[in-house]
Chain A
Amino acid sequence: MENNAFYVALSLLLNLDASLFQIVALSLQISLLAVLIAAVLGFPLGAAVAIWRFPGRGGMIVALNALMGLPPVVAGLMVYLLLSRAGPLGEWGLLFTPGAMIFAQVVLVLPILAALSRQKVEELLGEYREQFVSLGMSHSRMMPTLLWDARFALLTVLLAGFGRASAEVGAVMMVGGNIDGVTRVMTTSIVLETGKGNLPLALGLGIVLLTLVMLINAGAYLVGELTRRRVG
């Protein structure tokens, strides 16, 4: 019985295992905060690329699209080099802290949010452009209107970003270091437990992680559907 992953997952939850809850809470904090920061930066960036015409715009779109597939370990390595003592941001002393993990996840999620929101906003702009020009709107005035009117599409984009953040392990492992009680999150624990041969625990953690991601997605879907029905 103790070797059954579902049993392990259930007993972890039912016993209100303190260390488990700390790990889960840290995972959620890091991923949600990273997605939030990436959204604050990425949505306006995506909208700006959609609205303005400037030299190098095509190259920027290609770069953003390509960076959606940035391997987490590469992002982790870049952030590691930036934050390491000898690196340009070494003074911040962020390496092997949750802050470094958020940094790395922002790097991973930002291109996804920017590239996908660029596409959504551009579609919407195609529909609205003449009306906007007719209303005498400047490009910078178009941005908030477009972002608000694309809100349902952007919610899905946000979920894609959150999926990326919560699922990746390479970057947070490299810059966080998987330190027990400090930078240990669900994915790094799973790697660790698998390495130790504690497969039921690793699987149990995996089930908890999946359930959480599922719940957050279901919640976002419900909120989106309810408002969509109301707003049309």
Chain B
Amino acid sequence: MTAFQVPRLASSILSPSPELCFKDVSFSHEDKVLLGPCSFTLKGAGPTLVMGPNGAGKSLLLRLSHGLLLPTQGQITWSGEIRPRQAMVFQQPVLLRRSAVANLIHALAVNNVPRRERVKLAHDALERFGLTACCNTPARVLSGGEQQRLTLARAWVLSPQVLFLDEPTSALDPAAIKAVEAAVHEFHQRGTRIVMTTHDLHQAKRLAGDILFLSGGKVREHSPAEAFFEKPVSREAQAYMAGELVE
């Protein structure tokens, strides 16, 4: 495997990972509070795994953090002067109707990477994620696992300082899940702050540095992974871990 060259847009220092701060953030829709108010700071090495039952507000929290939605109240801030480069991997891969490599080249183009560097960066990323053989295959005829790896490759070429993943493995088989987790690990190694939602306790145990536990639109607990899995503090997390129904 050739050494990966960090594209020009990533020339600024990748570490330390930017810190994310939620201050009294809440999000409402049609007078119904869907999330919050919540306050927490994501610092330390991570990866941060966001856990909780369906409808707890995990995806919402990710979208607010990434800036896809604006909070109704409160403030979301990043450490540092400028907003860190970010990417997001969605539960359902969103890919353009063009070849695998063209999807990566498009992402580089919209991020103003010089034309002559795009092709090489795209091919390097495809190779890194084991997609070289599918280079010219239309992205939308790839298998589910390959599609999700391609979205990770697309995030990779942008060398984000923060990567959000919204249940990226929920529709994948064990082999594909393993590949995604390996990719997440690689991002983490590179110094990217990982914020990922999951339902899967085992996956959380494999990946997490810290756990943000949500239920009913509220952050119930934010602890280091070891402590959380050893003995969760909040009643909701205890119930969730015990396999009880939690709102």
Tally of B interface residues using CB under 8 Å: 23
A-B interface pairs (CB < 8 A), number: 45
Which residues does chain A contribute within 8 Å of B138, judged by CB atoms? 230-232
Contact A135 B97 (CB under 8 A): no
Measured as residues with beta carbon below 8 angstroms from the partner, the interface class of chain A is 10 to 19
CA distance A136 to B160 in the complex (A): 12
Least distance between B82 CB and chain A CB atoms (Å): 13
Q: Tell me whether B68 is interfacial, beta carbon within 8 Å.
A: yes
Q: Check if A134 sits within 8 Å of B88, measured CB to CB.
A: yes
- Closest Cβ of chain B to A98, distance in Å, is 37
Interfacial chain A residues near B86, Cβ < 8 Å: 134
Interface of B is mostly: mixed
Report B98 CB to chain A, min CB distance, Å: 7
CA distance A137 to B158 in the complex (A): 13
Q: Which residues of chain B come closer than 8 Å to A136, judged between CB atoms? A: 110-111
Q: B66 touching A134 by the CB < 8 A rule? A: yes
- B141 nearest in chain A by CB position: A232
Min CB gap B86→A, angstroms: 8
Question: Does B99 sit at the interface, judged by CB under 8 A?
Answer: yes
Contact for B94 among A127, A230, A232, CB less than 8 A:
A127
Which residues of the other chain, B, contact A134 by a CB distance below 8 angstroms?
66, 68, 86-88
The residue on B at minimum CB distance from A149 is B97
Q: Give Cα distance in the complex from A232 to B138, angstroms.
A: 6
Q: 8 tightest CB-CB pairs across the interface, nearest first? A: A232-B138, A232-B141, A131-B94, A134-B88, A149-B97, A231-B138, A232-B140, A137-B110
Chain B positions within 8 Å of A, measured between CB atoms, are 63, 66-68, 86-88, 90, 94, 96-99, 106-107, 110-111, 137-141, 158
Offer 11 A-B interface pairs, CB within 8 angstroms, sorted by A: A127-B94, A128-B96, A130-B94, A131-B90, A133-B67, A134-B88, A145-B110, A230-B138, A231-B98, A231-B99, A232-B139
